[in-house]
Structure 1
C-alpha cells in the first residue's frame, strides 16, 4: 500500500469581507483530500469553485483558517517563512500562464540556475543540472542561452516545468498548466508530465477546469463546487460515469467531434441546469 504524501483534513480558507462589518468570504469549506506518493490527484471545477485556492493554501499563498495540511508527515498548515524556504525543495508549482511566470529579462539558463544555486549548489553542479533538466523536458541545449520570448507557449511551459523539477521535488502543484495552450500542444505537455512522473516518481496535484484533461493524467479525481468537494474517486469512474449532477454537467460541457452526440450532450446539460435552478429556488423558498 502506497504512503500518503499529502493529507488535507477539513481545510477552511476565509478572506475578509469587503466593507464595514462585512462577513468573511469562505473560499474553502472543510475540504479533505489525500494523495499517495507517486500518484496524481486531478482537482477539477469551474472558475470560482475554490480549486486554485486549495493549491495556493498548500503553497502558503492563502490563509488557513481551520483544518490541517500534512505534507510528508509534517503539519505545514501554518509554516513559517523559514520553513517554507526549506519546503521549496520538496514542494513546487507550475503556473497557468507560461508568458507571465518566467522573468522576461533572464535567460533560460539563469532561470533554471536560480533555485539550484540558492540551495547552495556550485556553478559547475548547477550547469550540469541545467543540462539534465533541458534534456528531461525535451528542449535543446542552446535553450539555456535564449530568452523566454524566443520560445513558443508550449516551449515556455516546458521551461516552467524544468524550473519546478530543478530541486527534485516530491510534489508539484500544477495550476491549470495547459489551459493557455492549443489542443495539440496540450497533449504533448500532458504526455511530458506523464513521462516525468514515470521516470522520477514525482506526485502531482493537477488543477484544471477540464474533465478530459484530468482523465488523461490523473489516478484519482476530486470535484469542487463553491468551496466544497462534491465528488471524488478513481479517475476511471468520476470522469466517465459521475454520480453528482455538477460533475455530470462538467462532463457534458466537454465538446465531442460527433455533431449528433454534441447536440444530445447540450440538451442533457441544459436539463441538468434547469433541475439545479429549480432545486435552488425550492431551497430558497424553504429558507
Structure 2
C-alpha cells in the first residue's frame, strides 16, 4: 500500500468566539496525517481531542483555516457545494448513532436507493443493487421493506454501512461507529468492517475514543490530544507499546477481563500520573 489517497497537511481549524475582541477557538493545530488506498487509519482520543473535527473537515463539514486536505492529489479544502456533492461518490461517512442517521419515515430500500439517484440508476437496477448491499452487510433481502425502527442498534448500523457503500466509495469516514453498541455487537460490526475492506479495498478513517477498537482494524494509528497528534505510527506498536504518556494512559484506562491485570493497570496508571506531576507536566494529560 504505497498510494496516498488522502493527505492532510498542517491542518488548522478555528471557530469564532462571541465577543468583538475574542480570539478564535483553535480546535486543530497543524495536524498532518495520510491514508493510503485500501488502508484503515485509526484516529483515537478522548472527547474534545479534535478527532471528530478532523473527520468533519475531511467531509467538508468543518471550516479549514489553514493547511490543506488533498484527495487523490487534489486540494479539497474549500470546495463549493456542487463540487462537494460530486465528491460524495468517493468519500462517504458512517455516523455514531445509527438511528438518527436514518430517515425514520423511509423504508430501508428507499434509504439505500436514495444515493443511487446521483448516478441516475433506473428502478430495476436500484432494487438489484439494494439486495446486493443488504447481502454485503449480512441482512436478509426482505429487510428492504421495513422501517429503521424495526431493527436493533447493530442492524441499523449495518444499514448505515450499506448506505455508505451504495456509491462504491474509495474512502469512508467512520465517526465512532460502534460506540453506541454493546460489546458483543461491537465485535460483530467491527468484523463486518474488516470483511468489507478485504473484499472491496475501501479505505477507512476510523474515529474512536477506544484503543481496543482501533487495534482491531487499523494498519496505522494517530493519537490526538488537545487538537494535536501526539503519536502516529504502526497500529500494533501504538496500541500495544505506546511511547507517549497520553497514549499510555488511554491503554491503561481500557478495561480487561482479568482482575489481576486490571489491578496492575490501575497501579501503572497511578505511577505514570505521579511521575508526570513530579516532572511538572500538566496533570490533564493523564487525569
1:119 corresponds to = 119
Q: How many residues align?
A: 283
Q: Is the 8 A contact 1:117 1:123 kept in 2?
A: no
Question: RMSD value over aligned CA atoms?
Answer: 1.4
Q: Which moved more, 1:111-120 or 1:25-34?
A: 111-120
Deviation at 1:20, TM superposition (A): 3.3
2:177 corresponds to = 177
1:8 corresponds to = 8
Q: Is the 8 A contact 2:39 2:202 kept in 1?
A: yes
SS in 2 for 1:230: strand
- Structure 2 unaligned spans of 5+: none
Deviation at 1:101, TM superposition (A): 0.7
1:218 corresponds to = 218
2: CA distance, partners of 1:277 / 1:63: 36
1: CA distance, partners of 2:279 / 2:23: 26
Deviation at 1:281, TM superposition (A): 6.1
What are the residue-to-residue correspondences of 1:75-94 with 2, within 5 Å? 75-94=75-94
2: CA distance, partners of 1:143 / 1:133: 11
Q: Which moved more, 1:14-23 or 1:55-64?
A: 14-23
1: CA distance, partners of 2:282 / 2:203: 43
2: CA distance, partners of 1:54 / 1:150: 33
Deviation at 1:257, TM superposition (A): 1.1
Deviation at 1:141, TM superposition (A): 0.7
Q: TM-score of the superposition, structure 2-length normalised?
A: 0.96
Q: Is the 8 A contact 2:276 2:282 kept in 1?
A: no
Q: Which moved more, 1:267-276 or 1:208-217?
A: 267-276
The CA deviation string for residues 234-260 of structure 1, in whole angstroms up to 9 with x for no partner, is 011000000000000000001111112
SS in 2 for 1:129: helix
Judging changes above 3 Å, is the alpha-carbon distance between structure 1 residues 49 and 282 closer, same or farther for their aligned structure 2 residues? closer
Deviation at 1:272, TM superposition (A): 2.3
Q: Is the 8 A contact 2:11 2:66 kept in 1?
A: yes
1:240 corresponds to = 240
- Structure 1 unaligned spans of 5+: none
1: CA distance, partners of 2:10 / 2:281: 29
Q: Is the 8 A contact 2:223 2:230 kept in 1?
A: yes
What are the residue-to-residue correspondences of 1:255-274 with 2, within 5 Å? 255-274=255-274
1:103 corresponds to = 103
What are the residue-to-residue correspondences of 1:197-216 with 2, within 5 Å? 197-216=197-216
2: CA distance, partners of 1:23 / 1:278: 33
What are the residue-to-residue correspondences of 1:135-174 with 2, within 5 Å? 135-174=135-174
